[in-house]
Amino acid sequence: VVAFKIIVINKAETTPLIIDDNTDALEDTRLKYRYLDLRRPAMQNYLIKRAKIVKCAHEYLDDNGYIEVETPILTLSTPEGARDYLVPSRIHHGKFYALPQSPQMFKQLLMIAGLERYYQIARCFRDEDLRADRQPDFTQIDIEMSFMDQEQVLTMMEGLLKYIFKKVNNVDVELPLRRMEYLEAMSKYGSDKPDTRYELFLHEIKPIVEKADFKPFRDAKYVKALIIPHHAEKASRKAIDDISNEMKKYSLPGIIAFKVSNGKMDGSLLKYVDESIQESLMKSLNLQNDDLILVAAGDVFSDICFALGSLRSRFAKELGLVKPNTYDLLWVVHWPLFEISKETGKITSSHHPFTRPYDEDLKYLESDPLKVFSQAYDIVINGYEAGGGSLRIYDQATQKEIFKILGFSDEDVKRKFGFFIDAFKYGTPPHAGIAFGLDRLSMILGGTDNIRDVIAFPKNLAASCPMSGAPEIVDPEQLDDLGIAIKSK
């Protein structure tokens, strides 16, 4: 190329960050100058992949007869679940819209309307604390369909995933995907979104150790062990103390650690454990020299599982057990319908109040609701919950009963869900649905563990936008219009 003339189209100042794929600018700086950060090819690739995923969803769902429908952004506040973002109404003094946490009720109403197959690339909003994989303002590939049972839904949806993985990353996903029950995921992997790329399992050892004259073993309802192979030598006293300390997060007093050396168990607390018990532990856990055994004991099943589950993933990373460049997809199925809120002690839906219980469990609905399992399913990829859904309740009576169990008064139900319950009167087909987290799928396929990387203009952990400065105070006139006054804190 021979240039005859050079014209400066626009002058550029020195950029506050280095525009290069290998930039190591702090995220804070990158977010402040996001428009410069997005000049980097690596960042553009995330957005390109994201767009491809959306395109695939359109293609696959269109081809299978799904109709894209938009549902309102200004909608009704829902009493359960995440905190709503509220939008004051100027016309209706003192009243508020809410931004949707999900188009849940609308998509079910579309089933009643007879659309049979719906989808939407849906913006959702939840006013809860943020995480590396959680933004307050996010996108779901939201799907609902009529006249399908769980197996048909899963088959249809894993077809979509296969299509996306092939088109976006040229990865062949083998179908059908594995189905794992919630209880297995929890007790074996210590997570309801197990990372199945590596083996390293939790073991229930309560039956083996309950005879030991050691209070945690004797009295705790659950005693679980995680074996870290060939790690006893490397685990210093300080490292164990650190782990123990971390267990407080899961409301456990600490961790009990044993080692194996010279073919025998070793550890200061073993004086409380008979040799015969030690031997049967050695045998049933198939312990080898230099193994590190971490034991958690307690009465709350989920605490014990999550505690050891966090150690499981931590050691897997540390020891390089995670297979690189693999995508492990599975369905987690058979979830409990309810759970007890730790904070309030009240019963809440584990999924949402529209989830259909298994027919054979309906008999426990009143007497022992925690025994009721639901026809819900999560898609888990490499330890991420990439989506979830359920078969829905489609008869008015069951839906009303669920609301009752959740503690909504008749008046609450009428005001918050009246329109929804009413609709059930007019003939509701059996229906089911799912929502895939577009942001999470983009992370997984893009190969990043930070959700902000795949969102053009994300919020930081404090839920503000370092670039625009949102949220901000507004003019007093705007507040006046809305009849709102700000109370000082």
Partner RNA sequence: GGACCAGUGGUGUAGCGAUUAACAUGUCUCCCUGUCACGGAGAAGAUCGCGGGUUUAAGUCCCGUCUGGUCCGCCA
* Binding region for RNA (CB under 7 A): 14, 16-18, 22-29, 31, 78, 80-83, 101-102, 104, 126, 128-134, 249-250, 306, 310, 341-343, 348-353, 450, 460-462, 464, 466
Of 49 and 351, the one with the shorter C-beta distance to RNA is 351
Q: Which is nearer to RNA, 278 or 355 (CB)?
A: 355
Compare residues 14 and 286 and give the one whose CB is closer to RNA: 14
Nearest CB to RNA, comparing residues 58 and 134 = 134
**Least separation, in Å, of the C-beta of 156 and RNA?**
20
Question: Smaller CB distance to RNA: residue 51 or 456?
Answer: 456
Q: Please, which residue, 259 or 452, has the CB nearer to RNA?
A: 452
**C-alpha to C-alpha distance for 376 and 189, rounded to whole angstroms:** 19
Question: Smallest gap, in angstroms, from Cβ of residue 146 to RNA?
Answer: 19
Minimum distance, C-beta of residue 393 to RNA, in the bound complex (Å): 13
Q: Which is nearer to RNA, 6 or 462 (CB)?
A: 462
Distance of closest approach, residue 246 Cβ to RNA, in angstroms: 7
Q: Which residue, 125 or 331, is less far from RNA as judged by CB?
A: 125
- Cβ(377)–Cβ(389) below 8 Å: yes
CA distances from 119 to 54, 106, 286 (A): 12, 11, 50
Q: Shortest Cβ distance from residue 64 to RNA (Å)?
A: 23
CB 55 → RNA: shortest distance, Å?
A: 25
* Nearest-approach distance from CB 473 to RNA, in angstroms: 15
Given CA atoms 279, 282, 288, 292 in this order, what sign does their dihedral have? negative
Cβ proximity to RNA: between 47 and 130 the closer is: 130
Q: Which two tokens stand for residue 309?
A: 């589950």
CB of 29 to RNA, least distance (A): 4
Instruction: Please report how close the Cβ of residue 335 comes to RNA at its closest, in angstroms.
Output: 11
Return the closest-CA partner of residue 185 out of 198, 201, 161: 201
Q: Nearer Cβ to RNA, position 312 or 352?
A: 352
| Structure-derived torsion over alpha carbons of residues 169, 170, 171, 172, reported in degrees to the nearest 10 | 150
In angstroms, rounded to a whole number, what is the distance separating the alpha carbons of residues 308 and 305? 5
CB nearer RNA, residue 267 or residue 387? 387
Selection from 328, 378, 312 nearest residue 197 by Cα: 328
| Least Å from the CB of residue 96 to RNA | 17
Kindly state the smallest distance separating residue 243's Cβ from RNA, in Å: 12
Q: How many Cα atoms sit within 13 Å of 207 on the Cβ side? A: 4
